[in-house]
Amino acid sequence: MKISESTVEMLSKQVNAEFYASYLYFSMSIWADRENLPGLAKWMELQAKEELEHAERLHKYITERGGSTILAPIDLPPGEFASALEVMEAAYEHELMVTDNFTRMTATALEEQDFATVSALRWFIDEQVEEEAQTSHWVDRLRLAGERKGALLMIDNQLAQRQEA
């Protein structure tokens, strides 16, 4: 069964949201580089790449089902942050929003009895559990560090250990 136009529109919005997420995380990486936090910069750069992969995965699904992804302009993300904690809190809040998007899309697909789309979205729901856990972990670590520069540098070194998926 060919994918419905309404599902193409819904998933295309998320493709564009994933491109924005990549842009947001790349902006955070640029900020971290400027602040001499190479571990945070690397972590955010890898996150930006991962979001592009998510956009590509959604696009591939739309195409496999006979649809055509609809691209839209991408908003400019913020480029200034007060601290590494603010960066990671913004990342966590963004991931919560993305989870909400995937939850709503899954509910819509269930309503429409589009079980192929429900199945495709399950991977993203599972991925969001991991995304929320990771960003929440780093928010907690940065809160514990507070204003202690030595603790921030230790966390930055830990962030630098992230490997490409």
Digit-coded pLDDT (tens) for 81-99:
999 999 999 999 999 999 9
CATH class of 5-159: mainly alpha
CB 77 within 8 A of CB 27: yes
Could you tell me what percent of the chain has a pLDDT over 70? Answer: 100
Q: Which two tokens stand for residue 134?
A: 């990771």
Q: Which residue has the higher pLDDT, 147 or 165?
A: 147
Q: Kindly tell me the sign of the dihedral angle through the C-alpha atoms of 103, 136, 18, 51.
A: negative
Does residue 77 register a pLDDT over 90? yes
CA distance 81 to 86: 6
Question: Tokens 């007060």 identify what position?
Answer: 82
Q: Which two tokens stand for residue 133?
A: 């856990």
pLDDT at residue number 4: 95
CB 47 within 8 A of CB 91: yes
Can you give the residue ranges of every domain in the chain? 5-159
* Residue 117's pLDDT band (cuts 50, 70, 90): very high
The pLDDT of 1-10, averaged and rounded, is 94
* Residue 1's pLDDT band (cuts 50, 70, 90): confident
Among the listed residues 18, 136, 117, the one whose alpha carbon sits nearest the alpha carbon of residue 62: 117
Q: Kindly tell me the sign of the dihedral angle through the C-alpha atoms of 56, 62, 63, 65.
A: positive
32-59 tens-digit pLDDT:
999 999 999 999 999 999 999 999 999 9
pLDDT at residue number 59: 98
Q: Which two tokens stand for residue 143?
A: 């809160």
Q: Which two tokens stand for residue 18?
A: 């994933």
